[in-house]
Structure 1
Amino acid sequence: MRQIILDTETTGLNWKTGNRVVEIGCVELVERRPTGNHFHRYLRPDCDFEQGAQEVTGLTLEFLADKPVFGEVVDEFIEFIRGAELIIHNAAFDVGFLDNELALAGAQYGRILDHATVEDTLLMARQRFPGQRNSLDALCKRLGVDNSHRQLHGALLDAQILADVYIALTSGQGEIGFGDGGEAAPAQAATGFRSTAASARPRVAILPDELAAHEARLEKLRKKAGRAVWDAMLEEVAEAVA
């Protein structure tokens, strides 16, 4: 079974008001294990960010100015997801935006469901944890998934985290090699997923333009607040290894 963990970042909350996708991140699982294959693209939206959206993503129009538009990567994107089961948190949001991008690229591209099936981990979590907060951060805490490296939203990073959450959310049996054949708690399953060499999460090298965007975002935070949380984390790491 081939599954694609998918996340997007956008210029705002509603594609109907003209907002666009600015980042797509996908991580491939085969038989519930990461293969190391991924799809990651930044996209030029040719529209402004809504107030607040830029702060959430850390992306800027300047950074995205030389990136491709969706129509330039649509064929590659469809080929990557074709025939797979897409695992998305709050799928209605991402699928709505992606269907809009496909429509703008051309009627011949159809809709997401023409190319793949979709499983919504938010709906899954609501069924399992009714009446509780089921955001990605809340599920990480509840299921024992480490998301301490998630300072800003990023499509590929969130897809990697969601992969851990999905495995923990749908595990509980030893059928995928996490336990000794008996019942396993979700947090234990998540730990096994991260620590087993055969199922290590895909690691993606940071590109120079991504690093530059990260540094530019930190500099803005330093100017606004005096320092960034990232700086404090680096200091802690330096003290720990000193």
Structure 2
Amino acid sequence: MNKIFTIATFLLFTVSIPCFVLAQNTIIPDISETYLDKLIATAKANYPHVKALDHRVDVAKNNIGKAKVAYFDPFTVSYVYQPNNTLNLYQSVDNSGSVNSHQSLFNGAQFGLFFSLGSLLQKPYQVKQARKELLVATDEKDEYLITLATLVKKRYYTYLQRIAALKLQSEASIDAETMLKNVRYKFEKGEETLDNYTKARITLTQQNESKIGAEANLFLAKADLEELIGDKLENIK
């Protein structure tokens, strides 16, 4: 009976350990949807490519206005001004050698209105084309905003992952340092072998190197996230 109880207790303890570790070593509690929304909003406001797409939308809107105003392009107004008190415009000589003066048929200002039918018929299609270009520019911007939001989320999660990895590695380095102190103390008392003491020193060195790598990965993840939001994470409250 005691043996069965011991086995059951061991199995329960074994199952409980991963649950405890999972509860302690997870980034889920560190995720802040509110802060993530602020990061995404900041990226949409600051990222240069978003501004370029905004300019493209503005240009498309202006092109619609230009296309509408261009309805008047096929029409041309012209005028000719002939003063009433001017001299005769031209003279002619008849067969007898006499000079005859001729008055101009029109005097004063003469206006004319002309238009190109082919050009006029093209204007509705040009306006329609301009509106389609605006729709394309707007859709491209909306698509990129979705992509940008996804990129910010991915880099934010990676940043949190790097923070958690650094915490774990820091704890491992502390444990390795503590172990080395214990082994050194026993080695100096003659209770531990040189081989185990050497192994403990190597383990601490390896853990410290891994810690440095984890720190570098954290800084890189932070830089990648700040690249998208266009600002320091410390400035996003």
TM-score, normalising length: structure 2: 0.22
Q: Which structure has the highest strand share of the two?
A: 1
Query: Greater RCO between the two (CA within 8 Å, min separation 6)?
Result: 2
Q: Which structure has the highest helix share of the two?
A: 2
